[in-house]
Amino acid sequence: MNILKRLRDKNSRRGLWLISPTLLWMIGLLIIPLILVVITSLGQRDPDGNVIYTFSVNNYLRLIGYSFNAPCGDTPPPCFDDLYITILWRSLVLAFQTTVLVILVGYPLAYYVARAPARWRNLLLFLILIPLWTNFVIRVYAWIMILRSQGVINNLLEAVWPVILPVYTVLYNLILSPLSAFLPLHLSAPGAFQPLEMLYTPGAVLVGMLYEFLPFMILPMYTSLEKIEPALYEAAADLGASAARTFWRVTLPLSAPGIVAGTILVFIPVMGTFIVSDILGGRQVILVGNLIQRQFLDARDPTFGSAASIILMVMTLIVTIFYTRRFGFGEEIASA
Amino acid sequence: MARLYDHHTPMSNRRSPWLTLVSLLVYAFLYAPIAVLMVYAFNSSRTNIVFEGLVNQGPCGPFYWFCRLSNNHEVLSAAGNTLTIALTSTIASTIIGTMAALALQRYHFPAKTFSEVSLYIPIVIPEIVMGIGILVLFSALFRWLNGALSLEGDRRLALGLGTVIVSHIAFSIPFVTLVVRARLHGFDKAVEEAAMDLGANEWITFWRVTLPMIAPGVLSGAMLAFTLSLDDFVITFFTNGPGSTTLPIYIYGLLRRIITPEVNALSTVWILIVLIALLVTQWLQNAEDPFRAVRILARAFSPLFQWLRPGR
C-alpha cells in the first residue's frame, strides 16, 4: 500500500524513470549473470562439454580438494588432492603481497606529490596517470622485453659484468663462501656471465602486478595526503614531535582512508586478473583467474569454472567487507 | 614584514633528499618499461629478442615497422572496433549514468537502496566474474533465441560487437554515476529553484541550469568511461566474437605467437595517441565553456574515425 502511494508521487515516478535504464543494465548484465553463474556452478558437465543442470556441490568439493575420479599420487580416488586449494591460496597470498608492496612503493611518491609546490602537483600527478592510460596488455608485454634471459636487465648486467666480477670475486672469497657453510646460500662461483632466469617466475608476476596496480594505490593515497593541513605538521613540530613521530602519529593515521581505498582498488583486481600471470608467469604461476579462464576456454568445463569464480568472489567479498566494516568505504574511491 | 614572510619557507615545503630520490626511482620504474617498448619498435631484428640495431628498410627507413602496421588490415580493423566500442559505450553509459546520478541524488523512489547496492557490485567483484557471467548469459540466451526463432547460418545470434558494447556500458555506468554524483553533491539546489520560480519549466531548467553546472562532472565521467573501455581486456575477452577483436585482444593474441617489433610499433602509436588525447582534454577542461571540449574533440576525432573504419 505504502509503495503504491509512493509510486503515485511525482517525485518518485521521476526518480524511477531516471534510474530505469541503470536498473535494466544492472539486473540484466550483472545480477542475472551472477545468478546464472551460481546455477551453472551447481551443474555437471557431460562428456561433450555441455552443461547438465543439476543440484550438486561436486564442483565445490573438487575445489577444496576432494578428488572423485583422478587418483592423488598413489592413493586411489576418492582422495584428497590439494591442487586447487594451492591455486586459491597462491592467489590470495600474491594479492596480499602485491597490495603490501604497492603501498610501500607508492606511499613515498604519493607523499612527495602531495607536499610538492602547488604548481608542480598537477604535472607530477599527470605523470603517474600516463602509464595507467597506456594499455594494460601493453604494459605487461613491456616486462617480457625487460625480464627475459636476453632482455634489458640481463644485457645491462652483461655489459657491466667486467666491473662487477672482481668485486663479486672478492666478496665471494672473503664473505659469501665462508658464510655458505652456515647459511643455505645458493650462489654460483665467480665466472663468466650467466643470464638470470627471471621471466616465468613468481617474482616476475609480482613485479608485473606491482607495475600494473601502482597508480591505483598512489591516487587515493595522494587524495588523502593532500587534504592534510600543513599547519598540522607545523603544530606537531612546534610541540616538539620528531619527524618520525609526526609521521606515525599525524601523517599515517590521516592518510589511512586513502590506503584503505587503494587497497580495495588493488586487491580485488589482483585476485581476479589472469593476464599478468599468463604472460609473465607462463605455466609456472597459475592463479585462480587462469584456472577460471582455462575452464571456460580450453578445458571446457563451465560448471567447474563457475564454481571457482563463485569462490573467488566470496573470497574477495569477505576481505572487502572486513575492510569496509573496519575502516569505512572511503570517498577516495570516487575521486580516484 | 611582508618581505620576511615571502622568504619564510614553511615546513610543508621542506623535503628530504631521500624522499626525492625514492620518488625519482619510482617515476623511473613507471617509465622504464614504456621507454624500452618504444626503443624496440625501431629494432632491426625480426624476432625482437635482442636489440640488433636501428631498422633501416624500405621507403620508411627507421619507421619500417610503423609502415608495415599501416598496411596490416587486422590491426586497422581492431583499431576501428576499439574506437567504435569505446565511443558508443561512452555515449550510452554517460547518459545512463548521469540519469542515475540525478535520480539517486535528487529523488526518493522505491528501489533506491537496491539501485545503490547494485551500482557498487561491479566495483567490488573481480572483473573476471562479471566477464564469465555475461558470457554464460549470452550463450544461454542466444542458444534459446536461435532455437526459438529457428535462425540459421549467418542470421544466428552470436557474440560480436553488440555484446561487447552492451557489456562495456554495464561496467562503465557505475563509474560515471559515482563521478557525476560527486559533482552534484556540492551543487546548490537553490539555483534550480530560482530558475523554476522565474518561469522556466523542468526541461529548460535542466538544459540551461543543471547540465551546464554538472558538465565538468559529466565530462570527467565520460573520459573515465572512455579510458575504461579502451583499456578493457577481461570483459572484452569473454564477450567478443569473430570480427569484434579489439586492440588489447589482438595484442594478447600476438603475444602467444612470434612477437615482432610491429607489436612495439603498435604500442608506441597507442601510447602517443592516448598522450595527445590526454593533453588535449587537459587543456580543454581548463577552458571556460565545458561543452567546447566535446565539440572540439568530436571534430578532431571524426576524420580519424572514418579513416580507421574496417570496411575502408
Mutate which of A138, A141, A150, A304 to test chain B, going by most B C-beta atoms within 10 A? A138
Q: What is the model's pLDDT at position B30?
A: 94
Are A101 and A227 within one domain?
A: yes
> Which residue of A7, A21, A131 is in closest CB contact with B99?
A21
Residue A275 contacts residue B233 (beta carbons within 8 Å): yes
User: What is the C-alpha end-to-end distance of chain A, expressed in Å?
Assistant: 42
* AA letter at B147: G
Distance in Å, alpha carbon of A61 to nearest chain B alpha carbon: 20
Give yes or no: residues A134 and A251 share one domain.
yes
- ipTM above 0.90? no
The beta-carbon neighbor of A109 closest among B26, B32, B106 is B26
The DSSP line for A146-172 is HHSTTSHHHHHHHHHHHHHHHHHHHHI
Residue in B11, B23, B51 nearest the CB of A112: B23
3-class SS at A235? helix
**How many angstroms separate the CA atoms of B15 and B23, rounded?**
11
Inter-chain touch B26–A27, beta carbons under 8 Å = no
pLDDT for the residue A312: 94
Q: A-B interface: how many C-beta pairs under 8 angstroms?
A: 273
- Residue B2 pLDDT: 42
Overall domain count for chain A: 3
Residue A157's domain comprises 149-195
The reply to whether residue B248 touches residue A152, judged by beta carbons under 8 angstroms, is: no
A135 and B248 within 8 Å at the Cβ level: the answer is yes
A242 chain-B contacts, CB cut-off 8 A: none
Listed as own residue / partner, the contacts of B208-216 with beta carbons closer than 8 Å and 24 or more positions apart are B210/B102, B212/B290, B212/B291, B213/B187, B214/B98, B214/B180, B214/B183, B214/B184, B214/B187, B215/B290, B215/B291, B216/B183, B216/B285, B216/B290
Considering the domain boundaries, does residue A85 fall inside one?
no
Asked, for residue A86, whether it belongs to a domain, the answer is no
* Structural domain of B132: 21-308
- A251 and A304 assigned to the same domain: yes
Which of A163, A195, A227 is at the close of a domain?
Answer: A195
Average pLDDT, chain A: 85
A240 and A318 in a single domain? The answer is: yes
Whether residue A189 sits in one domain with residue A223: no
Number of H helices, E strands in chain B: 14, 0
Candidates B15, B19, B30, B240, partner chain A, best to mutate (most A CBs within 10 A): B30
User: Does residue B7 form part of some domain?
Assistant: no
Same domain (yes/no): A240, A113: yes
Note the pLDDT tens digit of each residue in A115-164.
888 888 888 888 888 887 778 888 898 998 899 888 888 888 888 888 88
The answer to the question of residue A214 being in a domain is yes
Instruction: For an interface test with B, give the residue of A14, A17, A29 to mutate (most B CBs within 10 A).
Output: A29
Measured between its terminal Cα atoms, the distance across chain B in Å is 70
The overall pTM is greater than 0.90 = no
Q: Is A31 on the interface with B (CB under 8 A)?
A: yes
Domain closes at, from A79, A102, A134: A79
Question: What is the DSSP-derived secondary structure letter of residue A70?
Answer: S
Q: Are residues A170 and A223 in the same domain?
A: no
Question: Which residue in A22, A214, A316 is closest to B126 by CB distance?
Answer: A316
B311/chain A closest Cα distance in angstroms: 25
**Is B9 a domain residue?**
no
CATH of the domain at B168: 1.10.3720.10
pLDDT under 50: residue ranges of chain B: 1-13, 290, 297, 300-312
The tens digit of pLDDT for each residue in B185-194 reads: 777 778 888 8
Tell if the CB–CB gap between B231 and A135 is shorter than 8 Å: yes
d(CA B280, CA B115): 35
Please list the pLDDT of chain A residue by residue as tens digits (336 residues): 566 665 567 778 888 999 999 999 999 999 999 999 999 999 988 877 778 888 888 889 888 888 777 777 777 777 788 889 999 999 999 999 999 999 999 999 999 998 888 888 888 888 888 887 778 888 898 998 899 888 888 888 888 888 888 888 888 888 877 777 776 666 677 777 888 888 888 899 999 999 999 988 998 888 888 888 888 888 888 888 888 888 888 888 888 888 888 888 899 889 988 999 998 988 778 999 999 999 988 777 889 999 999 999 999 988 888 877 776 654 444 444
The pLDDT score that the predictor gives to residue B101 is 93
Backbone angles phi, psi at A151, to 5 degrees: -85, -170
Q: All 3 cell numbers of residue A83?
A: 591442487
Tally the domains of chain B: 1
Q: Which of residues 152-171 of A touch B (CB under 8 A)?
A: 152, 155
User: Do A141 and A154 reside in the same domain of the chain?
Assistant: no
Restricting to A residues 120-149, those with a Cβ less than 8 Å away from any Cβ of B are 126-131, 133-139, 141-146, 148
